[in-house]
């Protein structure tokens, strides 16, 4: 079990990384915008997992995948599918809007095919 100090440092580091992703979100190519979104969702997934005190192995069992796959989701290396994200939300009693609300609040847009979704 991790000590509270380690958890706090992990959460602080995650929040800082999210700030960097959000600060560099605007004025990037459509491909980079997608990459930022994937990384952001992964960071939010990790943050929620840590808040709940769950291991990557526990999340992997929920999602019927390996813990290595969960690591890739959390690092933004692989895109988590919508069905897996919904399974995570249902299993952890997390509203899907928890992942997207900060983006809306900050006015961040996801570009697909080079156009903003309004």
pLDDT at position 9 is 75
With residue 75 as reference, give the H or E element that holds it: helix 67-75
* Residue among 49, 41, 45 nearest 2 (CA): 49
CA 13 to CA 6: how far, in whole Å?
Answer: 10
For residues 96 and 89, is the Cβ–Cβ distance under 8 A?
A: yes
CB atoms within 10 A of CB 3: 8
Q: What is the pLDDT along the chain (118 residues), one digit of tens a residue?
A: 445 565 667 889 999 999 999 998 888 888 888 899 999 999 999 999 999 999 999 999 999 999 999 999 999 999 999 999 999 999 999 999 999 998 888 888 776 665 554 4
Q: What pLDDT score was predicted for residue 29?
A: 84
Q: What CATH code would you report for 4-112?
A: 1.10.260.40
Sequence ranges of the domains in the chain: 4-112
Buried/exposed 65-78: b ≥16 CB within 10 Å, e otherwise: beeebbbbbbebeb
CA distance 41 to 48: 11
């Amino acid at each position: 079990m991790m000590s509270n100090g380690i958890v706090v440092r992990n959460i602080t580091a995650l929040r800082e990384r999210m700030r960097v992703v959000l600060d560099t979100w605007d004025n990037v190519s459509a491909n980079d915008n997608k990459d930022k979104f994937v990384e952001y969702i992964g960071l939010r997934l990790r943050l929620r997992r840590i808040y709940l005190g769950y291991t990557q192995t526990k999340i992997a069992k929920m999602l019927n995948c390996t813990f290595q796959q969960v690591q890739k989701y959390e690092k933004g290396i692989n895109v988590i599918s919508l069905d897996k994200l919904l399974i995570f939300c249902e299993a952890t009693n997390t509203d899907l809007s928890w992942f997207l609300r900060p983006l809306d609040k900050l006015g961040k847009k996801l570009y697909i095919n080079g156009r903003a979704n309004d």
